Structure 1
Amino acid sequence: MITGSLVALVTPMKTDGSVDWDALNKIVDLHLEKGTDSIVAVGTTGESATLDPTEHCQVIRAVVERVAGRIPVIAGTGANSTAEAIHLTAEAKQAGADACLLVVPYYNKPTQEGMYQHFRTIAEAVDVPQILYNVPGRTACDMDNHTVLRLAEIDNIVGIKDATGDVVRGKALIAAAPEDFAVYSGDDPTAYQLMLAGGAGNISVTANVAPAEMAQLCAIARNGESEAAELMNNRLMPLHEKLFMESNPIPVKWLMADMQLIDYGIRLPLTVLAEQYHDEVRAALKASGV
């Protein structure tokens, strides 16, 4: 089971929108140095929606090659087309990804049975560990715990990223799921609470700018140190909050560029963070002690 701090890695881009491969290597190296437990490549934060299929697979392969087996790599391969998700998942497996992250189909709003059949079909088509991803704020479609538990019975569906921020619901899922089924938080502000309740880790946006701190927080929370985890989370809360002042990954990419980790590139329809938010985001970084 992959555990701890799993960064939802940005895809660095130059100001013309092209992928910045040199910067990608540098930020992968940063996470290896700072103790990140796993890298999630080309998820929502990695702008999967605007990378074409070739670029999508190239970024996954580049991350896998740079990591070179030192930590697990999880590839974002979800789509609202089952056939496309199968294609991306197969390509990620061939590239050497350790697991794949598959989002609930967006826009077309399938039923619970439709979600079950979608994920079951992908799991049967590609023999690689697969992690479900429920983020109703993005997809306009919410996969309920009953459907997750049905899918958990499939051998290579090994976990879920729950980005609802509903800790009570997450705790209920942890209690009901098989012991080897991993429940990850996808909500930075509440992730420590889910880990204290038995969650496997946190797929984190904040870890892009605070990798060492998020790795430490996840380790403390998974060790059951509730008071220390709450204190550290409170320290990081300004970042958790301000990194969502505009749609993710707008604020985190801007802050990383301000920190000179990447360039300011981002793809339309997303735009560079509005100027009126710059000082607030900088202040959040300072307040967090990063």
Structure 2
Amino acid sequence: MFTGSIVALITPMDAKGNICRTSLKKLVDYHVASGTAALVSVGTTGESATLSHNEHVDVVKMTLELADGRIPVIAGTGANATSEAISLTQCFSDSGVAGCLTVVPYYNRPTQEGIYQHFKAIAQSTDLPQILYNVPSRTGCDMQPETVGRLAQLENIVGVKEASGDLTRVSRIQALTADDFILLSGNDDSALDFMRLGGHGVISVTANVAARDMAQMCKLAAAGDIAGAQAINQRLMPLHINLFIEPNPSPVKWACEKLGLAATGGLRLPMMPLTDTGRQVVLSAMTHAGLL
């Protein structure tokens, strides 16, 4: 459940920013049918930053309900206050989630020791499997491989989503962790290279709109069919890049609306709808990928 193509699922909203259950059901069904390995509910792409604590919990539990055991659900439980991250994590103790994805604390820029103590405190507060998430471009703080290695010694810290863009991290983390520690890419544009170096999969934004292709690419890569995986990856590369032409998740939400996977591309301030220029670029990438 923690390998292959895992989608960083959008949180569908109507034009007023209200969460849309109907669209969420359509998205969950789409991923079940497409072979997606698992759903990450209310991660960064799920707009965790603009949901209230109660909404955050409600969306994860709604996703679990709609999944109905057909596909594993991983709860996004990150926060820059350790106490809040623990509180969110404990909300899912008996919920049925497969595990939690927890981001490096953002804004307050802790030391490596602070990062270690943050994740240690969370892990010790729960029996749920924990996946670390390093994305320095968003958090302003880069969790080093040595810190990952220390954290990997804790029993229920089972993997890391590495989104620094530094592919040398794969071998560096492998050298510091056990063979069963899971390495997931957080960058669609380099996910295949990440897997070729020994990674186990990707937590993907592109999978929101190209779920079957991403699942197949990961399966081929895991089977050693790099040529087959590369053919898919090249077709998807404009999507990998241009779904970030404006701040995530604005482009991917518009793409989901365009494909009929969501009723609208609704967002909450300060996020803004995709511009006309951005729409043309994303439309071209979708066409190149064979989605239209």
Which structure 1 residue ranges, 4+ long, deviate > 3 Å from structure 2? none
How many pairs are equivalent?
A: 290
CA displacement 1:230-250 (0-9 Å, x = unmatched): 222111101001100011111
| 2: CA distance, partners of 1:171 / 1:233 | 22
TM-score between the two structures when normalised by the length of structure 1: 0.98
Number of the residue aligned with 2:5: 5
Residue 102 (str. 1) matches residue 105 (str. 2): no
Number of the residue aligned with 1:288: 289
| 1: CA distance, partners of 2:231 / 2:174 | 24
**Deviates further, 203-212 or 169-178:** 169-178
Classify the secondary structure of the residue corresponding to 1:245. coil
CA displacement 1:177-221 (0-9 Å, x = unmatched): 211110100000111111122212100000000000000011111
Number of the residue aligned with 1:125: 125
CA displacement 1:155-192 (0-9 Å, x = unmatched): 00000000112112223212432111101000001111
Query: Retained in 1: the 8 A contact 2:170–2:198?
Result: no
Query: Retained in 2: the 8 A contact 1:192–1:230?
Result: yes
| 1: CA distance, partners of 2:175 / 2:70 | 31
Q: 1:176 to 1:223 in 2, by over 3 A?
A: farther
**Deviates further, 101-110 or 170-179:** 170-179
Unaligned runs of at least 5 residues, structure 1 = none
- Following superposition of structure 1 onto structure 2, how do residues 16-35 of structure 1 map, counting pairs within 5 Å? 16-35=16-35
Q: C-alpha root-mean-square deviation of aligned residues, in Å?
A: 1.0
Query: Retained in 2: the 8 A contact 1:60–1:95?
Result: no
- Following superposition of structure 1 onto structure 2, how do residues 117-156 of structure 1 map, counting pairs within 5 Å? 117-156=117-156
Identity, % of aligned pairs? 52
- Following superposition of structure 1 onto structure 2, how do residues 42-53 of structure 1 map, counting pairs within 5 Å? 42-53=42-53
| 2: CA distance, partners of 1:57 / 1:205 | 21
State the Cα distance separating 1:121 from its structure 2 match.
0.3
Residue 187 (str. 1) matches residue 187 (str. 2): yes
Q: 1:187 to 1:286 in 2, by over 3 A?
A: same
State the Cα distance separating 1:31 from its structure 2 match.
0.4
| 2: CA distance, partners of 1:81 / 1:6 | 26
Query: Retained in 2: the 8 A contact 1:77–1:92?
Result: no
State the Cα distance separating 1:51 from its structure 2 match.
0.5
Number of the residue aligned with 1:255: 255
